[in-house]
Amino acid sequence: MPVIAVGDSLEYHNRNKFSTKNQDNDVSTRNDCAKQAEGGWWYKSCHHSNLNGIYKKGKSDHWNVFLQLTTNHVVWTIPLNTSDDAVVEMPLVTDNIKAPLVAALDVSSLNKQLKHYIDRAISTTYTGKIEEIAGHIQDKLNITVSRFERMFRDLTENVTDLIDKLEDSNRNHNDTVSETGRPVKLSRDCTDINDGNTKSGVYTIYPENIHTVKAYCNMDVDGGRWTVIQRRQDDFTDFYRTWSDYKNGFGSLNGSFWLGNDNIHKLTSSGRYELRVDLSDWGGGTWYAVYKTFNVENESSKYKLTICGYSGTAEDSLTYHNGCKFSTMDQDNDYDKRDCAKKAKGGWWYKTCHKSNLNGIYKKGLSDEWTAVTWSKNAIGTQHHYLKFARMMIRRY
């Protein structure tokens, strides 16, 4: 009868000492193999065979009962933790005196069952975890999709608003075309608003025929058509402001305001302009000053002032500032060692420091204090009035 070897499971134990439950002679540093395998054997760390293990039948999840010896078979039980645990019986080959010699085993069946066991273990262990991870990913994906949908809706609304604004702008442009199809001339300033609009009020003007600016037009004083660039009539608006504020303008067009240095430059650079200043104090006095030439250069020049050609009932308190740069609380462009804007608490074409300060602090009474809204009472400026009202207007000619 041919003999089929099942594999060497004893040479592993060669030269090992015998161990029992009360003598631990194995080489394992972690386990007492005799106690763990519940037998007596030449344990190493721990064993490849355990023929003196506990004799059991049926299922087992412990490696101390893998092998058992019967009259004609070695029975090897493989625990699969299922109802179909594999029991492989290996026939014994004996000699004439019926002594068992070698256990023969067909390992192909064992390999299949081990693979099945591993597959089942992996499937049982990880299927739930994979489903959990997949669910988590799906939740995150749903949140991300929701965010993108919300962003897309917002973008759509913004684009729609932009389209509406463009259509409104186009309609406004079309409104400037007459019934004959010829374009209506855009009003560069209040000088152009003379087609029956004789009331003073807020109008839309187009400096340089490009930029849209809301401006107050005075149609009552000296022939009207004045573009008001500054007004002081109450203390509701703070005029002690930054360079940026004076650049862009601030206040209410129906109250106290500054039109903005950029706008004033765009207006005065488009033609020849005169300036009119109207003043009144708390005692009931009124004055005016007219300057035939008024121009404000661009920001790179610090809004340099050109002014000349004085006439009027108020003393000339602006020619002194001709050629000066504009200064504010955060930009000192005057010719004085002091910071005139901070000293006078305003924004103006300060020199060393001023003879007029129409953007100073709004106060009542009569004083020589330089921080107030003031206009020099005489040529050398030894006395200043607190002004109740001040207005600067320009007109193209």
Q: What is the mean pLDDT of the chain?
A: 81
Q: How many residues does the chain have?
A: 397
pLDDT tops 80 at residue 62: no
Domain residue spans of the chain: 201-396
In the chain, % of residues over pLDDT 90: 51
The string of pLDDT tens digits covering residues 297-336 is 999 999 999 999 999 999 999 999 999 999 999 999 999 9
pLDDT in tens, 70-118: 444 444 444 444 444 444 444 444 444 444 444 444 455 556 766 776 7
Of the candidates 250, 218, 227, the residue with the CA atom closest to the CA atom of residue 346: 250
- 216 has a pLDDT exceeding 90: yes
Predicted local confidence at residue 63, as pLDDT: 46
What pLDDT does residue 68 have?
43
Nearest to 367 by CA among 387, 347, 353, 349: 387
Q: CA of 90: how far to CAs of 43, 60, 84, 103, 348, in Å?
A: 24, 19, 18, 6, 111
Highest-pLDDT range among 93-97, 206-210, 234-238: 234-238
Q: How far apart are CA 164 and CA 168, in angstroms?
A: 6
Whether residue 166 is predicted with pLDDT greater than 60 in this model: the reply is: yes
Residue 6 has a pLDDT of: 61
CB atoms within 10 A of CB 338: 13
Element (H, E) at 36: helix 33-37
CA 307 → CA 186, 208, 317, distances in Å? 27, 21, 11
Kindly report the backbone phi and psi dihedral angles of residue 271, in degrees, each rounded to the nearest multiple of 5, phi listed first: 175, -170
- Output the CATH code of domain 201-396: 3.90.215.10
> What does the pLDDT average to over 175-202?
71
